[in-house]
Amino acid sequence: MSAAPQSPAPQNPGPQDPAPTVEELEAQERRLVLPRFTHDDAWALGSLLVELARARRAPVAIDIHRAGQQLFHAALPGSTPDNDAWIARKRRVVERYGSASYLVGARFRAKGTTFEESSRLDPDAYAAHGGSFPLAVAGAGVIGAVTVSGLPQVQDHRLVVAALEQFLG
């Protein structure tokens, strides 16, 4: 059995970049609900994420899954195979909890513990670090996840949220 991947220490944003609260994260999920999500929508959202990441010179990998199928993947310069492993671990958190990976971690921290200490899930398979966001469709619920890996977790989360906000108009 291989050793558990080293997870980065939770990012402590500076005073000019405060971490979002549980309430703010929950509000994002309520607001960012899609009317539908097709294969073409996955391409459009993924392409938008690539455009935003390139504009920021972000060394990220981007993934979109729906109902167990990968609909989009891109690896930008500076990303590594480790980013793909992080994507899979963060996406599994969204699939299991139906909430953003950053929100799941924040809920554990709000209770005075960590996801790793209290979830009882294998850290080789699950990571409640920012960057994976549920694809929720009105009337259907969570049908997939959009995930970014390569930046500090708050920045991964914010990149996905910015793309979803722009995608929804």
Under 8 Å between Cβ of 76 and 53: yes
Other C-beta atoms closer than 10 Å to the C-beta of 40 total: 9
Query: How far apart, in whole angstroms, are the C-alpha atoms of residue 62 and residue 83?
Result: 9
pLDDT at 71 over 50: yes
Tens of pLDDT along 79-134?
999 999 999 999 999 999 999 999 999 999 999 999 999 999 999 999 999 999 99
Which is more confidently placed, 166 or 18? Answer: 166
pTM for this one?
Answer: 0.89
Give the model's pLDDT for residue 16.
55
Give the model's pLDDT for residue 63.
98
Query: How far apart, in whole angstroms, are the C-alpha atoms of residue 36 and residue 54?
Result: 26
Query: Which pair of tokens denotes residue 161?
Result: 């949220």
pLDDT at 4 over 90: no
Residue 136: closest CA among 100, 103, 101: 100
Give the model's pLDDT for residue 18.
82
Give the model's pLDDT for residue 17.
66
pLDDT at 9 over 50: no
pLDDT at 135 over 90: yes
Query: How far apart, in whole angstroms, are the C-alpha atoms of residue 42 and residue 148?
Result: 14
pLDDT at 2 over 90: no
Give the model's pLDDT for residue 23.
97
Other C-beta atoms closer than 10 Å to the C-beta of 85 total: 15
Tens of pLDDT along 10-61?
334 444 568 999 999 999 999 999 999 999 999 999 999 999 999 999 999 9
pLDDT at 64 over 70: yes
Residue 137: closest CA among 35, 29, 1: 35
Query: How far apart, in whole angstroms, are the C-alpha atoms of residue 52 and residue 42?
Result: 15
Structural domains for the chain = 22-168 (3.30.450.150)
Query: Which pair of tokens denotes residue 13?
Result: 């944003």
